[in-house]
Amino acid sequence: MPPDSAVEESVTKSEKLQKWLDLNQYSRKGVLRYEKIFGRTFVSVGGEYTTRMLTEKLNLQQNMKLLDIGCGTGGSAFYMARRYGVDVHGIDLSTNMVDIAADYRSEMEATVKHRVQFYVEDAITMEYPVDFYDIVYSRDTILHIRDKLNLFQSFERTLKPGGKLLITDYCKGDQEHSEEFKEYVKSRDYQLHTVQDYGNIIQRAGFVDVEAVDVTSLMLEMLETELEKFLKNEQGFVDEFTQEDFNYLKQGWMDKIRRVKSGDQAWGLFTATKA
């Protein structure tokens, strides 16, 4: 166990991050705006399209237990519960995310509602039951966390032998980065690695059969598709939110596309197995 001072420092950092997320990037309004571009209940790259594509890799079976780290507003959890009949324990540090996910859960059919649970938890400090989950799943969340090795070791412990890990996450390109990108990363307090380095950390955590795949081309395809669809629905979005909100998201997606095309920003897909 880390010394009490280390635990206290970790809790303090988590509380600060939670407050910043809930008041800024993931304010309730901010989350609902994101859903207008990712799709209802989704707040990660490609929404349901990439969720469907990626979960096909997991060989999910009825009644498996899945831990969804950074569950957002529940899109992946609802999809996997409905499509595969798995039981999903979703956690997120953002109270707004979890509140919205809980609202959606209340609207779901009983077969889905009884299989998904959402909790406000800090992935760094929460307790992980040993040899409990069949799958640990996370979409574009761990970029916020500095000590990824310790986190991945927790994932390895909580998986059953033979259990699977699947993560997508923002990464950085393997090049000298622009000052603009460095400022963007600093402003968000992201902790980014190259795809290869990220995979190496997972391997150091004790996983086997680690695959670290650069899927930046898929990210670019999704960003361009999302932006095109979003632009076509300008009036509907402005009627619900504001022109300022529309311009903010439009610019944000254009900036992401530019970062990806320049090679600064990358997207990684990571799969691994517990021995």
Kindly report the pTM of this predicted structure.
0.91
DSSP H or E segment with residue 165: strand 159-172
| Angstrom distances, CA of residue 212 to CA of 35, 107, 110, 113, 124 | 28, 37, 37, 33, 22
Contact by Cβ (8 Å): 129, 15: no
Instruction: Output the pLDDT for position 22.
Output: 59
Going by pLDDT thresholds of 50, 70 and 90, the confidence category of residue 248 is: very high
Q: Percentage of the chain surpassing pLDDT 70?
A: 91
What is the per-residue pLDDT across 36-57, written as a single tens digit (0 to 9) for each? 999 999 999 999 999 999 999 9
Instruction: Output the pLDDT for position 26.
Output: 77
Whether residue 11 is predicted with pLDDT greater than 80 in this model: the reply is no
Q: How far apart are CA 262 and CA 210, in angstroms?
A: 27
Q: Which residues contact 91 (CB under 8 A, 6 or more apart)?
A: 67, 68, 69, 70, 71, 118, 119, 120, 121, 123, 126
86 alpha carbon, distance to own chain's centre: 19
Give CATH for domain 4-273.
3.40.50.150
What is the per-residue pLDDT across 164-218, written as a single tens digit (0 to 9) for each? 999 999 999 999 999 999 999 999 999 999 999 999 999 999 999 999 999 999 9
What is the per-residue pLDDT across 77-125, written as a single tens digit (0 to 9) for each? 999 999 999 999 999 999 999 999 999 999 999 999 999 999 999 999 9
Whether residue 7 is predicted with pLDDT greater than 50 in this model: the reply is no
What is the per-residue pLDDT across 101-114, written as a single tens digit (0 to 9) for each? 999 999 999 999 99
Averaged pLDDT of the chain = 93
State phi, psi for 193 to the nearest 5 degrees. -130, 165
Going by pLDDT thresholds of 50, 70 and 90, the confidence category of residue 157 is: very high
Count CB neighbours of 209 within 10 A: 12
Whether residue 13 is predicted with pLDDT greater than 90 in this model: the reply is no
